[in-house]
Structures are given as structure tokens and as C-alpha cells.
Amino acid sequence: MKIFLAPWVHEDWPEEDRAESGEIRWFVIDGDELVWLPKDGNYPNEQYPYGKSVTFIEADIYDNPKLLEKDPGYLANLNALPLVERERLLHKNWRIRVEGGNKFKKHWFPILDSIPDDIEKTVRYWDFAATEAQPANTERDGPDYTASVKMARRKAGTFPRYIILDATWDRLSPGKVEEKVREIAELDGSACEVWFEEEPGSAGKFNTFSFKTRVLEGFSAHGIRSTGSKEVRANTFSSQAEAGNVGLLKSWWNHGYLNFLEPFPSPKVHDDPVDAGSGAMEQLFQKRPGVLDLNQPTEEEKKQAEEEAKKPVNVFAWAAEHEGGGWNE
């Protein structure tokens, strides 16, 4: 659409030939090419007898009060779009461009029409930001998103091995975050592990406990503390994507999610959906298939064991406590 309306909205259209809102312009189709005719001509004429006219009237959502009255949530949907799409569809800024980052490119991600039948593990990772939408307050235009990415790992030898099955990004209150997490967990099913970032300190531990025992009771749920910057955490995700080893399940959210990835890292674009993808990839790389991995001692238990090891041992008492551990063995 932006290409078709180029004389009105395209940032590279020659200034001297730019059309004003409501101005009628004429074009012809030459083979498969659309050709705009000079703006000062009188059409149709002998040279262009089959010229067609078109105009573009600039407007925004507030020029259509009936739509807002009929669908009050439509404005919220526009505000929830990534920066570039939001600027174009809500603020009429068709000249905005995505600032390319150095971590992800859209063409790295192959699109799959269906879910592969050789998936061996699935996780959904949440990056929480329990803040409802409010007026712009940062360079990124508004509060952070509560974002999630559902990612699957296929069996070894398949390509692409990692598939992003779903991605979400919303601005929600704390209570609505819990509702959303539970709702999506039920849709994903118990086979999908749920991971989320645990904030530092006792508050983070309490939040993890609350989510595991109340919000996500009945599901495999885990809180994990992140280390390093978001750019560093995105390295594995970026490396696999560059190799073409991360695919997207074809869906409506593909374009929006890629618009978060490509400019990363950028101070003008929210990175929460990117961090959710990095977290999901990290968990698929973790070796946690067995009981030993899930029952590793905590740091406190390790410290206690080290202190016990420094104490003198009564060998006779030790032998009496261990079945079959006496001197007669």
C-alpha cells in the first residue's frame, strides 16, 4: 500500500512531485509496472487514453468516531503495536524507518506452514513488566511490555531445529498479567514448560513461589535469574538465527515480532519480546532432562556441606550410621 500511495506517503518520493492530501493523481500500468503521470497534465489524453485517477485523503483514528464508539478496543490494539507500525497506523507517520540493529535480520527466519511432528521439547519464556499502558514517558514511547515466546526444539539433525510457535506482547496490570499467564499455559498444555525471569532479592523469590504454587499450579513452572546484559543474553539466539536455524510458525504475529527483533538493540524500540526469545532459547539449550539436573544442591546446601567436611569424623559413629559400612565389610 505504501508503494501504491508513494506520491503521498513515501519518504523517498521527489519533493517537487509530492502530492497533497486530497490531490488527484493519474497513473498507467506499463507491462507490470505502475507509472505515475506528471502532476501538471490533463488526463486522460491522446498519449495516455487509459489513465486511471486516484486520491489519498490523510486521516487518523480520531477522524472516525463511529469506529471508536463501536470498537473501543481498537485504539488499544493500535497502541500495542511495535513502534514502526504504531507510528504509521496511529500517528500517520509513513516516513518512519526501522533502525537496523546488529543482532537480527528478518530474512534469517524461515517461515513454516505447519508445526513439525518431530518436536522433542517446548518451552514458553515470560519477560514480565506489570505496568498498564500510560502516556509516553520514555524514548521508547511508553512502558515496557509483558512479553512471552513459545519455542520448540526439534530432534537432532533437523533444520531449522528451533521453531518459534507463538509470541505475545501486552501492557497489563499485575492482576491481568497473572490471568494472561494462566490462560496461555492452559492453551499450551502441560507438556510446555513455563519459565520466567526472577527478580533479585526476597521479593523475586516470593513472586516465583506465588507463580509456581498459585498461578501455575499443575504446570512445570520455573523462575530463573538473568545474568549479563540483554545484548549478551541474545547472543545464542542471534547466532542460531543467523545460521537459519530458527524458524517461525506462519501466523499473524510474525511481522510484528520481527519488527522488534530487527532494530535490537535500539533505545527507541522495546526489547522485552527479544529478551523473551533469548530466554526461551537459553532454556532449550539447558541440559535438564533427568532427576540429577533437577535436584542439584543449592548454594546454601553446598556451603553447609563444605562446613561439615571441615569437622573431624568419628569413624565408628559414621560406620554405625551407614548400613553395611562397618569394619567387617
Q: β-pairing, 24-30 with 146-154?
A: unpaired
Does residue 46 carry a pLDDT above 90?
Answer: no
Half-sphere exposure of 159 (CA within 13 A, CB side): 7
User: Is there a domain that residue 256 lies in?
Assistant: yes
Check residue 290 and give its pLDDT. Answer: 37
- Whether 140 contacts 169, CB under 8 Å: no
User: Is there a domain that residue 66 lies in?
Assistant: no
Are 140 and 38 members of one domain?
Answer: no
Structure pTM?
0.59
Are 36 and 111 members of one domain?
Answer: no
User: Is there a domain that residue 73 lies in?
Assistant: no
Length of the chain, in residues: 329
Does residue 93 carry a pLDDT above 60?
Answer: yes
Are 269 and 166 members of one domain?
Answer: yes
Share of the chain above pLDDT 70, in %: 79
Are 122 and 216 members of one domain?
Answer: yes
User: Is there a domain that residue 88 lies in?
Assistant: no
Q: How many domains does the chain have?
A: 2
User: Is there a domain that residue 170 lies in?
Assistant: yes
Check residue 201 and give its pLDDT. Answer: 76
Task: Tell me the per-residue pLDDT of 252-262, one tens digit each, with 9 for 90 and over.
Answer: 999 999 999 99
- Answer with the one of 38, 55, 72 that is the final residue of a domain: 55
The predicted model gives 199-209 an average pLDDT of 82
310 — pLDDT class (breaks 50, 70, 90) = low
Sheet holding 162-170, edge to edge: 111-112, 246-249, 162-170, 146-154, 119-127, 193-197, 221-224
Look at residues 153, 165, 170, 158 and name the one whose alpha carbon lies nearest to residue 250: 165
Residue 47, classified by CB atoms within 10 Å of its CB into exposed (0-12), middle (13-18) or buried (19+), is exposed
220 φ/ψ angles, rounded to the nearest 5 degrees: -80, 100
Check residue 83 and give its pLDDT. Answer: 62
Are 216 and 150 members of one domain?
Answer: yes
**Any idea which residue has 507510528 for its cell?**
87
- Which of 291 and 320 is assigned the larger pLDDT? 320
- Whether 307 contacts 299, CB under 8 Å: no
Are 148 and 20 members of one domain?
Answer: no
User: Is there a domain that residue 236 lies in?
Assistant: yes
Task: Tell me the per-residue pLDDT of 58-90, one tens digit each, with 9 for 90 and over.
Answer: 888 888 888 888 888 888 888 777 666 777 788
Are 178 and 247 members of one domain?
Answer: yes
Are 118 and 42 members of one domain?
Answer: no
Are 128 and 14 members of one domain?
Answer: no
Are 25 and 111 members of one domain?
Answer: no
Alpha carbon 27 to its chain's center: 40
- Which of 19 and 302 is assigned the larger pLDDT? 19
Are 169 and 253 members of one domain?
Answer: yes
User: By mean pLDDT, which of 32-36, 195-199, 245-249 is the weakest?
Assistant: 32-36
Are 128 and 230 members of one domain?
Answer: yes
CA distance 27 to 7: 11
- Answer with the one of 285, 309, 324 that is the final residue of a domain: 285
User: Is there a domain that residue 42 lies in?
Assistant: yes
User: Is there a domain that residue 64 lies in?
Assistant: no
Look at residues 324, 302, 281, 313 and name the one whose alpha carbon lies nearest to residue 104: 281
Does residue 120 carry a pLDDT above 70?
Answer: yes
Look at residues 128, 258, 257 and name the one whose alpha carbon lies nearest to residue 194: 128
CA distance 128 to 300: 27
Cα–Cα distances (Å) from 236 to 98, 154, 159, 270, in that order, read: 23, 17, 16, 19
Domain CATH code at residue 150: 3.30.420.240
What's the mean pLDDT when you consider all of the chain?
A: 81
Which residues form the domain of 15?
6-55
Check residue 109 and give its pLDDT. Answer: 97
